[in-house]
Structure 1
Amino acid sequence: MNPSSSPTVQIPSVAWWRVPQMWLVVGGPLIVVLASLVMVYIAVTHADPVLDKTAFERDRAAASVLQGQARDEALIQLQPAHQARNHAASPVVPQER
């Protein structure tokens, strides 16, 4: 039997979007791109406000005038987040006054 006389099988052509393997290859990166666009939208529309340094200094001065427990609570609320976080994780327990 020679190769030229063998019957050829006709494979029906299918649209590219109907092939499931194509969606496995393209679907993952497409989902990642869409998710990143959503994250950019959220970051742009819900930006954190810029804090006013003069208002912070005014509140800090007002808190330093207070006495005892009220002063400590007011100053803790005015601490930057990284200082409060590091203090909360420290093994040192502050002594009672």
Structure 2
Amino acid sequence: MSEPNEPKPWWKHGQVWLLISGPAAVVVAGVVTMWLAVSSPDPVIAEDYYRQGLEINQQLARERAHLPAQQGRNHAATPAAERK
């Protein structure tokens, strides 16, 4: 007669490691992402960036308000190198 199969421990089954590897990879990726975010934060370019952006938008609106439609369209479509 044949001997009954003895059950193997859980760590000897390949499917268990396949199942564990997904969440483990996500945890490792999260730790690496956190380390990158903490070790090299983005610098603040200007303290008053919002006010500067509003001023630029107002200036552009004033400039474009006086242009005829055809000229404004052509100005927007022309690359910056050719404008100078």
The TM-score with structure 1 as length reference comes to 0.44
Q: Which has the higher contact order (CA 8 A, sep 6+)?
A: 1
